[in-house]
Structure 1
């Protein structure tokens, strides 16, 4: 519902989900909901998908934790098949023999899906079957190695580049030049130091960074103003529509 509201209130921004835990949901419902948002937004959905890593959640919905990797693969397969007209599939999520269609269809050929972490899959499987990688924040040097390894695997399956994204918790100091210090899954620093940090991440091959203000101690509006004036203008945002993410690298920011 939240994405539906955003689809109606915005015109150009990408609408991302990070991330749907596929083994906890029926693949048909995921496919239908995601396609609906994609249509409403004019093809701006990027769907992050994951296998889930919290064992306590699975008994609450009567799902097995140990087989979540297999269910993740089957869900991805089901969703992809249902994006096609009268697709055929037979796995643990159900049997469709080509006489039943699922509507609506995505705005274009399909919406992109990004694998989150490993999702209980081999690195090669993720590089081959999904449209990009959502990975955990790391130091730029280590992240560069992760990106290079991922893209090397992608290149064995396709000539098309696939984007890499990461989250980053930030706590922006009142001193704009305060140096970077680590916090949980992120950094505490001044806005100028954040800019330098993001530029290094970009040079390491990261295409998109999702900034999270959960641990930010400064007033939110003040922080957003600084980010909009002192950080965002330094990055070039390409079109992040389906054609971009399916055929070439995504944003450089």
Structure 2
């Protein structure tokens, strides 16, 4: 089996542009969100047609950065989400590999993948919250090297039994192996941003690329470079979305996205599809998330289908 047999990967990258939505769905990102409400909204997102739910990896809260993600650790949280959903992909956006021992990541990810029936897709990152690194005893300057070594070790312990590996993380001498293994040869890995790597490295070692919202001309350039380096390997991007009351309202820029009416968003995402974007992670900014999840699905996703 190949990474592309992973059911979550297939859901995201089957045919044309797919849509995911990121936790916290309640927009409660500086304290602990209401668990029952988050899970209810997760079920609702699946029922109206979203293809994925994405959870961020934020080990500690740094108020100067602005938010704490969805607060809960990604692995138990996605396991909980798996119990209330059936078919959509479960994504990490993104696991900060230099702050986590890769053997722990490998076991946790394989566990979530098995418990969800093969729905896990992993965004992976080198990290951007500087105070976390001394807290974990990691040098900022080592992030790029540790990221590469972690990816190599993840792939190795998922694919091989009793491997022999020497890395900055430690030594595997062939006497031990990882259990469980994922449902496929490897959990799909999507480097996020450049992760302090070259585009060529990402194209060679990633199962896709996850990037941020970019101006159209810049995005066209990035996509052209990506296709030259990676061929048909999927390209995903995150976009912050705030739905205006009037469907016909034009766009106003917000951080990493737009506030606009559903008619404009429908045209915008149709344009992304034509440009070759494969998946969009929507960060939905809303005071009424249930209603806006439905409105986005009905007025933006469904008319494109």
Q: TM-score, normalised by structure 1?
A: 0.87
Report the secondary structure of 1:209's partner residue.
Answer: strand
Corresponding position of 2:31: none
Corresponding position of 2:273: 202
Spell out the pairing of 1:22-37 with structure 2 (5 A cutoff). 22-37=97-112
Corresponding position of 2:233: 162
Task: List gaps (5 residues or longer) in structure 1.
Answer: 156-160, 237-253
Corresponding position of 1:47: 122
Spell out the pairing of 1:128-139 with structure 2 (5 A cutoff). 128-139=204-215
Q: Is the contact made by 1:170 and 1:187 (CA closer than 8 Å) also made in structure 2? A: yes
Aligned length: 229
Report the secondary structure of 2:277's partner residue.
Answer: coil
Q: 1: CA distance between counterparts of 2:249 and 2:288?
A: 17
Report the secondary structure of 1:38's partner residue.
Answer: helix
Q: 2: CA distance between counterparts of 1:82 and 1:141?
A: 40
Distance 1:41 1:235, change over 3 A: farther
In the alignment, does 2:299 pair up with 1:230?
Answer: yes
Corresponding position of 1:66: 141
Report the secondary structure of 2:212's partner residue.
Answer: coil
Q: 2: CA distance between counterparts of 1:77 and 1:235?
A: 38
Which among 113, 118, 121 is matched to residue 38 of structure 1? 113
Q: Is the contact made by 1:117 and 1:134 (CA closer than 8 Å) also made in structure 2? A: yes
Q: 2: CA distance between counterparts of 1:230 and 1:43?
A: 30
* RCO comparison, higher one (Cα < 8 Å, 6+): 2
Q: TM-score, normalised by structure 2?
A: 0.72
Corresponding position of 1:183: 254
Report the secondary structure of 2:141's partner residue.
Answer: coil
Can you list the C-alpha shifts for 1:96-131, whole angstroms capped at 9, x where unaligned? 122211110001211100000111111111110111
Report the secondary structure of 1:67's partner residue.
Answer: helix
Q: 2: CA distance between counterparts of 1:40 and 1:151?
A: 34
Q: 2: CA distance between counterparts of 1:92 and 1:171?
A: 43
Q: 2: CA distance between counterparts of 1:234 and 1:134?
A: 25
Q: 2: CA distance between counterparts of 1:207 and 1:227?
A: 18
Deviation at 1:235, TM superposition (A): 4.3
Corresponding position of 1:5: 80
Q: 1: CA distance between counterparts of 2:90 and 2:84?
A: 11
Q: Is the contact made by 1:31 and 1:79 (CA closer than 8 Å) also made in structure 2? A: yes
Report the secondary structure of 2:140's partner residue.
Answer: coil
Deviation at 1:54, TM superposition (A): 2.4
